[in-house]
Amino acid sequence: MTAGSTTAVPAASSADAVHALLAAGSIADVSLISAEHDLHTTLLPQPVDSPGIDKRAARLLDALAAILVSRAQHEVIAIGAQVQHSNDLSDHSGKLQLVLAANAALPQTIQAYLEEVWKCMQLLAEHRQQLRLPEAKDQQRARMAELIYRHNFPKFLRRVRKREAAALRFLEAMQNHITKEDALQYDSTAAVLSMLIHYSELIDLLSAHQVGGKNEVSVDVVSDPNFLPTMDGLWLAFRNLRSMGEHSFHLWSLRLPDHSTVELWRFFNKVTLIHGSIAELESAARSTRLYRLFRKKLFVEIVDYPRKRVTLPTSQDAWATLIDTALNSAQPLKPIQPRVIQSTAAALSTRFSDKSVSCEIHCECKILQHFTTTAYKIKPINYIGVSKLSCTGCTAVFDSYNKLQNSQGHRFYTRGAHGKWYFPWFLPKVGGGVKQIDFTNRVYRKLAGQYAQCLKTVALSHSSALSEGSQEVSGTPEDFMYHKAKIVGFFDKIKA
């Protein structure tokens, strides 16, 4: 319900009702719905398996979105692209337009930073047959990595420190539990131990560059000659572990029950995210399919839309009516008990006592709005990279928009959802008149069905199963020789 309206309950299938449903879902216990996704919210980009998506380009856009983040918290960035080829078929030049949006104001330096990263990738594309991990011998790759880590350092440092004590305790426990011979016998054990050793070395590096407390570290640590090799080894070990399956790490919870491998897996997933994104950028620049993209002239556009105020239902009865209407639309197989509806309505009335809320369109939806309301002669790439998986509202937006398209329509995709409900949130525009009305109806029905499931879940259960991680290319024999050499040095150092 927009500001200034006097209606107590928003009309079903209206934008007002969509906003109110998002607000309702944001305070519900959705742990069951989101738990399956939570462990994978920061994995390397895994584009959706939909027809017509260039997965290589999708991974590139997700990696670019990840390396654009600079704030320690509360920053999500999305990136879209449009490619214009030269009219001369023998000329591989042309124009690449990158469109950026964020959930908050982007730093003024973001465009210059992205252009510098792009220059590094252009040089990598010119010499695309050289570097292989874990050795960091390529000057342009090293320059690009340092540039990215300097930009991302506040976020990187926060991630590295978050589970520091738990990770180091886990390393100590493994050190006391296994011998050097055990570690050398099994590849999965070698990868786990190598990952922990590299992490310990990273902590030592950060400590050597502290300028105050543990969270006050000079960004110049990224220029330390040991920083990039340490991160190369840490990323390689985690990548190899992931290729063997997440279970290969979680088995250690049986041998070391005092340690939460679930939390540590998420932790190392986040710690290595930027390095994995750097590897993806390097891979794209050296790709025989994509390297010509880096011959094009880069243009960067930043899009934003003003925040708008939303007025929510004004009483417990109004919230109860809204929930009833949504359930009638969703038609759940098993009715939700009235006491659940009333207690939820009471909680909502208390939580949103300030009825007028300032809301912003989420960044991936900003780009969708820009692409769908701008007259393009050449259609943008149908994939939008995002630095974080999409929330429930944004997922409903993309799903609803795509279902509006006929067989010839231009759909847009992101890499997936984390299943959480967020509010404040504002519905984007994807057109005018009947198209926007149909789109809004679809978003409302989608959210009503998910909200009904949410209420049923809250009422019935508090348990869930974890999903398997994504499949990766298996580690090479050279990878595990590297890990085992690292382990030999580690145990020899302890013995000495």
CA angle at 72 for the pair 306 and 210, rounded to the nearest 5°: 150
Q: What is the pLDDT along the chain (496 residues), one digit of tens a residue?
A: 444 444 467 777 799 999 999 999 988 744 333 333 333 333 344 445 566 778 889 999 999 999 999 999 999 999 999 998 766 655 557 899 999 999 988 988 999 999 999 999 988 888 765 545 444 347 888 999 999 999 999 999 999 999 999 999 999 999 888 888 888 888 889 999 999 999 999 999 999 999 988 889 999 999 999 999 999 999 999 999 999 988 889 988 888 888 889 999 999 999 999 999 999 999 998 888 887 888 889 999 999 999 999 989 989 999 999 999 998 888 766 677 888 889 889 999 998 987 889 999 999 999 999 999 998 888 999 999 999 999 999 999 999 999 998 766 789 999 888 888 999 999 999 988 889 999 999 999 999 998 988 777 654 433 222 223 333 556 787 888 888 888 888 877 776 6
* Helix-helix angle 392-404:433-460, to 10 degrees: 140
CA atoms of 272 and 270, how far apart (whole Å): 5
Cα distances from 26 to residues 6, 8, 321, in angstroms, run 24, 20, 18
DSSP secondary structure string for all residues of 83-110: EEE-SSTT---EEEEEEEEESSPPPTTH
Where does residue 12 rank: exposed (0-12), middle (13-18), buried (19+ CB within 10 A)?
A: middle
Q: Which residue ranges make up each domain of the chain?
A: 15-30+307-460, 106-303
Q: Which secondary-structure segment (H or E) carries 448?
A: helix 433-460
- CA distances for 226 relative to 107, 141, 205, 232, angstroms: 29, 15, 8, 10
Q: How far apart are the first and last CA of the chain?
A: 70
pTM over 0.85: yes
